[in-house]
């Protein structure tokens, strides 16, 4: 559960329950299994208690900026698309592109409401 702009709590796509995940993502036509994991971490684990916790922002990234990782410093590429903060990281030294799901070779699921 994540805070909504109005201060309430709303289900997020981090749910391990197929029906909750589908409803939160507008995927009503997809046949998802009841549980999206095949095993639990320990006996008595309640998958419905799982929630995503957002990472703490330590600094803002900007298009063209670099992230010093010691042995490499990839360049930040701003890729607005299905989410406003989408980025890729490009390591010019060896041509590696960390694209996340911006490069995707399958059926597109970007037809979700309000995700343009």
- pTM listed for this prediction: 0.52
Check: CB of residue 12 under 8 Å from CB of residue 1. Answer: yes
β-pairing verdict for 87-91 and 75-78: antiparallel
pLDDT, position 3: 42
pLDDT band with cut points at 50, 70 and 90 for residue 92: very high
pLDDT, position 82: 61
The three-state secondary structure class of 17 is: strand
Q: What is the rounded average pLDDT of the residues 12-25?
A: 77
Higher-pLDDT residue of 55, 108: 55
* Nearest CA-CA partner of 34 in 50, 49, 22, 51: 22
The three-state secondary structure class of 20 is: helix
pLDDT digits (tens, 9 = 90+) for 74-89: 999 998 776 778 899 9
Question: Cα(37)–Cα(50) distance, rounded to whole angstroms?
Answer: 12
Q: What is the rounded average pLDDT of the residues 59-68?
A: 94
* pLDDT cut 70: percent of the chain above it: 78
Q: What is the rounded average pLDDT of the residues 12-40?
A: 80
Question: Cα(80)–Cα(92) distance, rounded to whole angstroms?
Answer: 21
Average per-residue pLDDT for the chain: 79
């Amino acid at each position: 559960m994540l805070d909504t702009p109005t201060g309430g709590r709303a289900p997020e796509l981090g749910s391990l329950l197929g029906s909750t995940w589908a409803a939160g993502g507008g995927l009503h036509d997809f046949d998802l299994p009841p549980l999206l994991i095949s095993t639990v971490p320990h006996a008595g684990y309640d998958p419905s208690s799982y929630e995503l916790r957002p990472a703490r922002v330590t600094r803002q990234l900007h298009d063209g900026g670099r992230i010093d990782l010691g042995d490499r410093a990839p360049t930040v590429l701003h890729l607005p698309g299905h989410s406003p903060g989408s980025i890729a990281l490009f390591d010019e030294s060896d041509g590696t592109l960390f694209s996340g799901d911006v490069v995707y070779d399958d059926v597109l699921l970007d037809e979700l409401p309000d995700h343009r």
